[in-house]
Amino acid sequence: MAHISRRSVLQGMGAGLGALAAAGPLFNANKAFAAREKELNILCWEGYNSAQVLDPFRSQTGATVKAESLTNDPTMINRLRAGEINTWDLINVNNPWARKVMLPEKLIKPLPKAEFEPFFAKMMPEFKWPYKWAMSEDGSELIGMAQRFGPYSFVVNTDKVSRKTAEDTGWDLFNDPALAGKYGILESDDWNVFNIFIIAGIDPFKVHTPDEFAKFEETAKRVFKGAKLIGDIASMNQALISGEIDLHMTGGTYSVSPARADGHPNLRGITPLRGPLPGGKGGIAWIEITSTVNNPNLSPLALDFLKYVQGPEVAHTVAFAEGTFNPVAQMGNKACFDLFTKDELDAIQWDSLQEEMDRSAEYDIVPDYDKALDLMNAAKRLRG
């Protein structure tokens, strides 16, 4: 029978505090192990944080790898701005942020060109060295590696709206009063800003005039009022499959591929044939760039991980990591491409990928995004 008295409890606590004091340096491991050889922290879009991708790397290196996924670029970048530059080793965001924002603000640091240039030779032709979004504005520095990409405009149930009609009518589908109450809007507000501009017939990636903003506001109010629901990817796919909606704004391979892989090939990401984007393009495509954070104590594993995900098997795993399925630049390498089954290629709409990318402008930064977002949020509140 244990005999517990106040004295014994206090003695125990004293011993505990002593042990805590002795173990103190462990709580400051970053400084104690200055090189951080066994630690890697990744800030990324979902997929890179999956066990399928990380576990083999953990086994190979014996390292503690932590990855946090977020679903919009500005949040990730502001985490670095707010002081987490000392925490993260890799950041994975959409194409323009590395080149136009993070490098000028010294949030990321360049990669050793000699080590990474050879990987571009094995990527798909449009990613060949020197790939624009992987390089600094002046072209002198390599600032990140490309991997996942895809067209991202809107998604239709082709049983209700044929692919031909959707591609031909394009964004005007959302101007059609007959379709009010039959479409959803994916909760991805940065993309929704782009798409409201496009539905209004305006190029989103430029400085806008007051008249254009007035048109944007009117369009936002109308499009949001007409939406049956706003929700996440799972909600959109569920609503499409159940027949609650026939199409949804903001979406593409990234959002619809899980549903297609689940046996719903009638759901399809659509890139319109034409639109108000430069060159008359009708869609927008994203390309993820993964960069090393300008962490004063960067883990050496950061570069190892960037090389690791270039391997054919790992690239295939990244493409089909849990959550969303996407094409990867490494599919230019036959060894990687051959790992994709027919069903997997169908899920990522490989049959039309090239033509959709050709019809898409590349994701860019809206110069007056804040104002547009405020107008769109106000429009959203008027739904009720």
Partner 1 sequence: MADLAIAPPRQEAAPEGAAQLRHARMLSVGARCALPVALLLGIGFLAPLVAIFGYAFATPRSFDVFTSFTLANFATLFDTTNTVWLSFFWSCGLALLTVAILAVVAYPIAYGLNLVFGRWSALISVFFVFPLFVSENVRLYGWVLFFIKNGVLDGTLKWLGLAGGPEVLYSPGITLFGMVYTYLPFMLFPMTLGLALVPRDLVDAARDLGAGRLFIWREIELPLAMPGILIGMLLTFVLAIGATAEAKILGGQSIIVISHDIEIAFTYSQNWPLGSALAVLVTFFIGALTLFALSKLDLDRMLGRR
Residues at the contact surface with partner 1, assessed by CB under 8 A? 1-6, 10, 13, 72, 74-75, 78, 81-82, 184, 187, 189-190, 228-231, 234-235, 238-239, 242-244, 370, 373-374, 377-378, 380-384
How many residues belong to the chain? 384
Of 136 and 238, which CB lies nearer to partner 1 in the complex structure? 238
Q: Provide, rounded to whole angstroms, the least separation between the CB of residue 377 and partner 1.
A: 6
- For the bound state, the minimum distance from the C-beta of residue 374 to partner 1, rounded and expressed in Å, comes to 7
Tell the smallest beta-carbon distance from residue 174 to partner 1 (Å): 17
Our measurement of the distance from residue 164's CA atom to the centroid of its chain's CA atoms, rounded to an integer in Å, reads 28
Choice between 83 and 125, CB closer to partner 1: 83
State the nearest-atom distance from the C-beta of 290 to partner 1, in Å. 21
Tell me the closest approach of the beta carbon of residue 161 to partner 1, in angstroms. Answer: 17
In the bound state with partner 1, the residue whose beta carbon lies nearer, of 208 and 359, is 208
d(CA 214, CA 78): 29
Residue 81 or 128 with smaller CB distance to partner 1: 81
Taking residue 248's Cβ as centre, other Cβ atoms within 10 Å add up to 30
Instruction: Give the residue carrying structure tokens 């039959």.
Output: 182
The whole-angstrom separation of Cα 109 and Cα 91 is 11
Q: Count CA atoms closer than 13 A to 10's CA, side-chain side.
A: 3
Comparison of 184 and 272: residue with beta carbon closer to partner 1: 184
Over the range 253-273, which residues count as b (16 or more CB within 10 Å of their CB) and which as e?
Answer: bbbbbbbbbeebeebbbbbbb
Give the relative orientation of helices 233-242 and 253-261 as an angle to the nearest 10 degrees.
50
Using the minimum distance from each CB to partner 1, give the nearer residue, 244 or 346.
Answer: 244
For partner 1, the closer of residues 89 and 189 by Cβ is 189
Instruction: Name the minimum Å distance from CB 4 to partner 1.
Output: 5
Residue with Cβ nearer partner 1 (175 or 235): 235
Beta carbon of residue 383, minimum distance to partner 1 (angstroms, whole number): 6
140 exposed, middle or buried (CB, 10 Å; 0-12, 13-18, 19+)? exposed
| Segments in 279-349 forming alpha helices (H) | 301-308, 312-319, 334-337, 342-347
- What is the residue whose two structure tokens read 């048109």? 215
Nearer to partner 1 among residue 121 and residue 234 (C-beta): 234
- Taking the C-alpha atoms of residue 216 and residue 194, their distance in angstroms, rounded to an integer, is 10
- We find the least distance from the C-beta atom of residue 11 to partner 1, in angstroms, to be 12
**Least separation, in Å, of the C-beta of 324 and partner 1?**
18
* HSE value, Cβ hemisphere, 13 Å, CA-based, for 25: 5
Which is nearest to 245 in space by CA: 174, 193, 188?
174
Report the alpha-carbon distance of residue 197 to residue 104 in Å, rounded: 27
